[in-house]
Structure 1
Amino acid sequence: MADQRERVLVVDVANVVGSRPDGWWRDRAGAAQRLLAGLRTLPGAGVAGPDGDPGALVLVEVVAVLEGAARSADPAAHPGLRVVRAQRDGDAAVVAEAGRVVDAGAVPLVVTADRGLRERLPAGSRTTGPGWLNALLGR
């Protein structure tokens, strides 16, 4: 892909899992585990960016934020995939991770449909909804 740009993917796991009516509410940790398994394939991948960030992107790191019952999901270790277990507020953890990425001089691409969360993200953050990630992962 020509003109690739680097992004750190920050995933609001609860929002992405909740975007599909596949019974996730019966087993939140299991649903998160399945999403994490897909996310393991993305670090280092070149992908087509979403509508809000078009063009070719390279996902140099993937950060998955877990909250509530999903925090017990236990993904296999994988280089480039970092799991953050929010102690209380998952949205605050997503904002903090996006801030960490911006402070490091990189560009976060935050996956969430939560408008309130999007408004709290630091300047320089890019956003997209769960549909883009679900399509990318074939979910």
Structure 2
Amino acid sequence: MPRRPLGSGDEWVMLPDGRRFWGAFGAAGLLVHAPDAGVLLQHRAGYSHFGGTWGLPGGARHSDESAVEGAIREAAEEAGVPGDRLRVQFTSVLDLDVWTYTTVVASVEERFEPVIGDAESIALAWVPIDEVDDLPLHPGFAASWPELRAQLRAAPTLIIDAANVVGSRPDAWWKDRPGAAQRLAASLERLAARGVPAALLELPGHTWWPRLVLVLEGEAKQATIPSPSASGSAATGASAGGGSSSAGLTIELASTDGDSRIRELVSLAAEHSDSVTVVVTADRALADSVRALGARVVGPRALLELIDTLDS
């Protein structure tokens, strides 16, 4: 099996303490897991860094790609991982100032057959989660595996109290409530694609891609929110409370008041042991009631400041 041609980032980076790491623009690896198979691991070729150990398919990032793009590209090239079947969950970053390594965690509904794509792999195998520690692991992966394992099944949901978030800024939203809801939904679609900082969800890691749920009530339900195009990653479908959903954002139309629907959604999420639910609101009564149901609460300012960074 031949080695691949060098890419724009394929070179060593030397740290002040003498250690060296591969990737001029950092490196990234993909930890993909399937419910019926465990995690996909790579047995590294002897000539590679820490050859003979088991780790993640991955490698140096190109100059023009994000960590997620780099990890998925490398996993496709090295292991035949089908990128269109992945659901990216979160990233974890090792930051050494002059060099970073990003672990991209993603899931697939069903296992696929990996294919060795170059000389960097001795073997590729689906390994049951309880058997990973039995293998001679790459030191970096061994250090990060306990925390990564603990978060594999986390399924965070960010529920946005639209009326409260829109009402927290005096931008004349009261003159056009549907328009204000439409603008917020558009911003949330961009946020769903970019991901949410782990700190907002109070979760470990760097960035998460939670399910975003926007709850609309009253006049705001008249908002015209376009469905994802046919070329998008998911088709639009009816949500539980009426409305529509895409791969990242669900629109919930409250049949009565928004607070009641938010409490219902939190209660439904609490039925799943791995769920993490965060409600965005400054309404004190609503905040107290959803906390009692097990949800976390953040104020509108944190969300709006995050949206502002996207818009700028």
Q: What range describes the TM-score normalised by the shorter chain of this pair?
A: 0.7 to 0.9
Q: Which runs of 5+ in 2 are unaligned?
A: 1-90, 93-146, 228-245
Tell me the residue number matched to 1:60: 210
Distance across 1 between alignment mates of 2:267 and 2:261: 10
Tell me the residue number matched to 1:119: 288
Equivalent residue in structure 1 for 2:276, among 107, 111, 114: 107
Q: How many residues align?
A: 138
Deviations along 1:31-60, whole A, 9 cap, x unmatched? 00000001112336141423x836545132
Aligned CA distance change for structure 1 residues 17 and 34 (closer, same or farther; 3 Å): same
Larger Rg: 2
Aligned residue for 1:74, secondary structure, equals: coil
Deviations along 1:9-47, whole A, 9 cap, x unmatched? 100000000000000000000000000001112336141
Tell me the residue number matched to 1:19: 168
Asked if structure 2 preserves the Cα contact closer than 8 Å seen for 1:17 and 1:24, the reply is yes
Once structures 1 and 2 are overlaid, which stretch shifts more, 27-36 or 95-104? 95-104
Point out which structure has higher relative CO (alpha carbons under 8 A, 6+ apart): 1
Aligned residue for 1:84, secondary structure, equals: strand
* TM norm structure 2: 0.41
* TM norm structure 1: 0.87
Equivalent residue in structure 2 for 1:76, among 226, 230, 250: 226
- Aligned-CA RMSD value: 2.1
Identity of aligned residues (%): 38
Matched, 1:128 2:306: no
Q: Which runs of 5+ in 1 are unaligned?
A: none
Asked if structure 2 preserves the Cα contact closer than 8 Å seen for 1:42 and 1:62, the reply is no
Amino acid at match of 2:282: A
Amino acid at match of 2:202: D
Tell me the residue number matched to 1:86: 254
Amino acid at match of 2:277: P
